[in-house]
Amino acid sequence: TLVVADLHIGWEVTLTNQGVHVPSQTPKLLKRLLQLIDRYKPNTLVMLGDVKHTVATAQLEEWRDVPAFFEKLKRKIADIRVVPGNHDGNLAPLLPPDIEITPPTGITIQGVGLFHGHTWPAPKLLESRVLVMGHVHPVIAFRDPLGFRIIKQVWIKAKLNPSTLAEQILKKSAQQTGEKLKMKAKKLVIMPPFNDFLGGRPINEKPLEKKSEKIVGPILRSRSVDLENAEIYMLDGTYLGKIGEWRLRSGFRSSN
């Protein structure tokens, strides 16, 4: 299974409306994705939310680009699933009929719980040992020897408190069930956006959990994720240390 998050097809239109003209990045996204499919030959492709950029509707460019994007993907891989994100309103009419749109609360594949992150995951996902989300667009900010600020996309791997998380999820979902969950989730992985032209939220500046819930999603504000000791990795796998260490360098301290 190949998982990618946050393509934001059509984001260039927002810049165009602001007077900044950027060529469509959709062909580049498609090329990279097809190369990954050719390289790893997955049986399933999961889009982990925010396939398109506009939130509630679809721009003309998205009506043009999104259907063509998926038609070309279908020639390479038959099983494509979309876990909707907060930008995927009115996405269904843009997709070919055989593309599966899952519940926004996520799915489990091969023992891994997958959800976008803008809403609570389904309680059933807690039976997975690892949860994977997007949504946050994590980056790290630092300065080069000349003092220029540089932003780099990163992966985040954090420990979970499954009991605290389960309590929060069951409370928010108002789920009444006699079936006892086998809570196994002990790790959360936050993916960087597949669209590398997007900006992000520096995790070593204002703490993620201090930002609004709309930005980071409920799970990072639930106090069930140990962000201070979360590990940071560059896109090539280089380990950069823990979030708490980088926050101290930036002048922030945890309130926990």
Each residue of 43-77: pLDDT tens digit? 999 999 999 876 445 566 777 889 999 999 999 99
- Of 126 and 162, more confident: 126
Do 94 and 132 lie in one domain? The reply is no
pLDDT band at 172 (very low <50, low <70, confident <90, very high): confident
Do 171 and 231 lie in one domain? The reply is yes
Do 163 and 115 lie in one domain? The reply is yes
Which of 74, 102, 130 is where one domain is finished?
102
Do 155 and 241 lie in one domain? The reply is yes
Residue 236's contacts (CB-CB under 8 Å, 6 or more residues apart) are: none
Residue 46 in contact with residue 2, Cβ under 8 Å? Answer: yes
Do 91 and 216 lie in one domain? The reply is no
Do 124 and 234 lie in one domain? The reply is yes
Alpha helical stretches, state H, 75-124 = none
Do 148 and 194 lie in one domain? The reply is yes
Regarding pTM above 0.95, the answer is no
Domain count, the chain: 2
Q: Environment class of residue 233 by beta-carbon count within 10 Å: exposed (0-12), middle (13-18) or buried (19+)?
A: middle
Range of the domain at 133: 104-256
Residue 242 in contact with residue 228, Cβ under 8 Å? Answer: yes
Report the CATH number at residue 24.
3.60.21.10
Which of 102, 128, 150 is where one domain is finished?
102
